[in-house]
Amino acid sequence: MNTKRNNILNNLDSAKKMTHRNYESSKSGTTDDNDKTGELQLRMQNLEKINVHLENLVEEDKQKLAETVAKNTRFLSIVAHDLRGPLCTAIGVFDMLKEGMSDYNKSEVEELISIASNSAISTLSLLDNLLAWSVSQNTGKSFNPVKINLHELVINEVESFNTTTAQKQITLNHSIVPKLHITADLQMTKTILRNLISNAIKYTYAGGNISISATEGKKFVEIEVKDNGIGMSGKTMKKLFKSDEFQSLSGTNNEQGTGLGLLFCKEFVGLHGGKIWVESEPNKGSRFKFTLPHYI
């Protein structure tokens, strides 16, 4: 768009200069009157066409700006709601315990603390996403692909979910070979994995299973996060990864979300030249897959 605008502005400037030269020539009497009139008419026609093009560009920019403002406004309102909800829940739990912890038995206290903990984890996850996303907006300085041992990275991420999986009695394992390496931005890759694992836990029933695997290709490694949870319909899948349709279903323990995490995943995978997609059926679980460059 900028190149197109610059070309039009250059043509406009050239037309103005030519018109000015023709005018000066006409004053000095060095240009034939008929030729001068014809050239002036041609230049005026060109100027009119250029003005029309500029008006169209301005109108396009206005529409895009309005769409961007509307999208950002909605984005911020959703983020604010998603931050406020878990924080209010945690504060409410702490107030209940502060006002009368003796009114609750041990199991009730443990349940309340679990609720507050989950709320804090949800808030931290969203903040991590926002931080990674804000950094990604300046890709020239922040995008830093390095050699990553995928096996070690997945082990660390799996261990970070030990408390959450224990609470829902979910088995989380992986089958990544020890010497598999990718070329990727470390923080972005962590964010992708955390979002997909977190979603898998959210939509898997107690006692369920989640597995992480990887398939090596010549240029890319395909990574899969698979669960045997509630799954989703084709209609729901079509709404995923779209910035204009934030899509999120309640988890098996009524966990809430906005679907923003998947948007970040799509953006981060795209920065690496990879792809992300999902395969799922209702009540048969989901398989989220994405590709990142293979380190060879």
Q: What's the DSSP call for residue 207?
A: T
Which pLDDT does position 32 carry in this prediction?
58
List Cβ neighbours of 109 (8 Å cut-off, separation of 6 or more): 97, 101
Q: 106-145 burial by CB neighbour count: b if 16+ within 10 A, else e?
A: eeeeeebeebbebbebbbebbebbeebbebbeeeeeebeb
What is the chain's alpha carbon radius of gyration, rounded to the nearest angstrom? Answer: 29
Question: Which residues of the chain fall below pLDDT 70?
Answer: 1-36, 67-82, 84-85, 132-133, 135-142, 243-259
Q: Supply 107's token pair.
A: 């199991």
Distance CA 180, CA 283 (A): 32
Q: Which helix (H) or strand (E) holds 5?
A: helix 2-28
Distance CA 124, CA 130 (A): 10
Name the residue among 279, 89, 122 with its Cα closest to residue 194: 122
Euclidean distance between the first and the last CA atom of the chain, given in angstroms as a whole number:
37
Question: In the chain, where does DSSP find H-type helix?
Answer: 2-28, 33-100, 106-136, 139-142, 150-160, 162-168, 186-202, 234-239, 260-271
Which pLDDT does position 31 carry in this prediction?
47
List Cβ neighbours of 142 (8 Å cut-off, separation of 6 or more): 135, 136
Name the residue among 261, 257, 259, 245 with its Cα closest to residue 129: 261
Q: How does DSSP assign 222-252, residue by residue?
A: EEEEEE-S----HHHHHHTT-TTS------T
Which pLDDT does position 167 carry in this prediction?
82
- What pTM was estimated for this model as a whole? 0.66
Q: Supply 198's token pair.
A: 């977190």
Q: Supply 143's token pair.
A: 């995008």
How many C-beta atoms lie closer than 10 Å to residue 12's C-beta?
Answer: 17
> In this structure, what are the phi and psi dihedrals at residue 172, rounded to the nearest 5 degrees?
-125, 115
Q: List the beta bridge partners of residue 74.
A: none
Q: Supply 238's token pair.
A: 């079509």
